[in-house]
Structure 1
């Protein structure tokens, strides 16, 4: 994904340069939308910084589940998907029995790219792809011996309905995050408006022999 973004940015800049314009120092993007109201992030009590390991949050929208990061050592968590602006996370929190409905955040992973899927053999299982940089925090010496750490969470829920609820929650938050990113970037992707607004004082653009080629590449 990182490489695809780099290629897109390069092509976008080349297309602007081919029109005889310069890329603005601060590309225009729409301001953040006020999406915090009535969101899962608000219900969980998160602030703009997002979830942090070891901090408390409300579990009103969380779904109980079990997961084993080591063979034979299954743990109970509450699973929650949260989007906040252009960021999003899947969270595993440990319930606080003496402080319901609060829990302590134990694991955090990016929402984007999580690619949640039902297990085709076990209707109560949900697979979620996890980036390596956000896998459970363990000591480096111990990490070398943990062969089960493979960039994926396999979550076991109480029943098929709970699993479906968790999957729907993740997909909904991914969709909200995607829509917000698209809305923020819309002015940047509008090449005509970008060129006119950032270079209106430069006069007519210089012609370029490869302008049509780059235009066709998008």
Structure 2
């Protein structure tokens, strides 16, 4: 698994491959290799071949977990990666629990033919999972990743009247949507609040002084 993670990082870390391509490649290779190991178990009658297939299956599982679907939630949404992982793990464990019951039904007499049928069905499921991920999988951060945009209120003073400033300043309030850590743009289509009052101006020694907030 560590080697699989290093391999994945080396590909998109140097920008030679996108994250989506890396995830799909590792998942496709891992699931296809795992399916090949199971179909070998289905047709094999040799103990040595069966043991070799089990060892190879473990390697393919590590490949997909270290650089494939196991870390994919972090790509989709760093903020909600734990939630995505929890939901996906719950669904997979539920499917695994149901499959245990199905295996018990399929191998009533525990013959080689029944075990071959079990491994064949598993192979078909793995191939289907690989195809679904290859078509719909993604390694890019999703638009909903950061949740609802934050709303901020900006209050500023704007001059009103002739340049001599005798008419004072009024305050206008804008609602700005955007993330706190990111730049945001103030829209021009704002209206000045009707309940705003002009700020007082005091004239001392021929000089206008403005008092505001």
TM over 0.5: no
Q: Which structure is higher in strand share?
A: 1
Where relative contact order (Cα < 8 A, 6+ residues apart) is larger, the structure is 1
Q: Which structure is higher in helix share?
A: 2
Larger radius of gyration: 2
**For the superposition of Structure 1 and Structure 2, which TM-score range results when normalised by the shorter chain?**
under 0.3
